[in-house]
Amino acid sequence: GQNIDQPTEMTATEGAIVQINCTYQTSGFNGLFWYQQHAGEAPTFLSYNVLDGLEEKGRFSSFLSRSKGYSYLLLKELQMKDSASYLCAVMDSNYQLIWGAGTKLIIKP
Amino acid sequence: GAVVSQHPSRVICKSGTSVKIECRSLDFQATTMFWYRQFPKQSLMLMATSNEGSKATYEQGVEKDKFLINHASLTLSTLTVTSAHPEDSSFYICSAQSGTGDSNTEAFFGQGTRLTVV
């Protein structure tokens, strides 16, 4: 079956760095997405990786290793507004998104 | 980036009535639209996939007669929750993709609709 695993909850301190991991097993691979979702709102797009390596976009970076079925989202210089759920999603061979359950990130002052 | 508009953002309806949710792609043609449902503290659950001009493909366990999906044009898909019950209360989200078979296809999300059935 298809499976996306990510931690349920993480806590970090304002100004620090946090890494949210995602491992996947899917039928085919056409890219991995990271989304941010604040409570009660729709997800917003953060990053897309289809080749191995690190993609940097401001305070957020995303890494992919296709051979290991592994990705992480790195958030630097954490701000209180970064408190949200972070969703990992993989596009399978049918170009449909398979979603992880999301990681709730709690930022403490 | 592309914009997907979903309306209404919040709706409260009486048990037994029907509610229609609209999802519009404002600046691109969406050949495929997806409807998701999200329960509190849970992941998005795909309900159905709709392609313009054809019948929607429903995921296992989703009642097609209860959740009517229409994708009549390349910019509009609607989800109608028929004979709503309190257990249908949830957050419904649509997303749209501009094409298929494109490895760099990003899904653009609507704002979501919070449905409360009383």
Average pLDDT, chain A: 92
Query: pLDDT band at residue B112, thresholds of 50, 70 and 90?
Result: confident
**Which helix (H) or strand (E) segment is B5 a member of?**
strand B4-7
Residue B106 is predicted with a pLDDT of 64
Nearest CA in chain A to B34: A96
Nearest CA in chain A to B45: A99
- The minimum CA-CA distance between A104 and chain B, rounded to whole Å, is 9
- Most trustworthy range by pLDDT among A41-55, A76-90, B86-100: A76-90
Alpha-carbon distance of A87 to A69, in angstroms, equals 16
Peptide bond into B8 cis (omega under 30): yes
Residues 6 or more apart whose CB falls under 8 angstroms from that of A107 comprise A11, A12, A13, A14, A78, A79, A80, A82, A83
Dihedral pair phi/psi, residue B36, rounded to 5°: -120, 160
Q: Which of B34, B101, B110 sits opposite A42 (nearest CB)?
A: B110
Nearest CA in chain A to B90: A40
Alpha-carbon distance of B96 to B111, in angstroms, equals 12
What's the Cα-to-Cα distance from A96 to each of A32, A93, B49, rounded to whole Å? 11, 7, 9
What's the Cα-to-Cα distance from A52 to each of A28, A30, A49, A64, A94, rounded to whole Å? 15, 12, 7, 5, 21
User: Residue range B38-55: average pLDDT?
Assistant: 81
Residue B18, token pair as written in the block: 């029907």
> Mutating which of A37, A48, A49, A66 best tests the B interface, going by the most B Cβ atoms within 10 A?
A37
Residue B101 is predicted with a pLDDT of 47
DSSP for B25-37?
ESSS--SEEEEEE
pLDDT for residue B54 is more than 90:
no
> Mutating which of A66, A85, A91, A98 best tests the B interface, going by the most B Cβ atoms within 10 A?
A91
User: Residue range B36-65: average pLDDT?
Assistant: 86
Residues 6 or more apart whose CB falls under 8 angstroms from that of A20 comprise A6, A7, A10, A72, A73, A74, A75, A86, A88, A103, A105
pLDDT for residue B2 is more than 70:
no
Residue B51 is predicted with a pLDDT of 84
Q: Which residues of A touch chain B, with CB atoms under 8 Å apart?
A: 30-31, 33, 40-45, 48, 50, 87, 91, 95-97, 99-102
Residues A96, B46: C-beta atoms closer than 8 Å: yes
Chain B residues closer than 8 Å to A87 by CB: 43-44
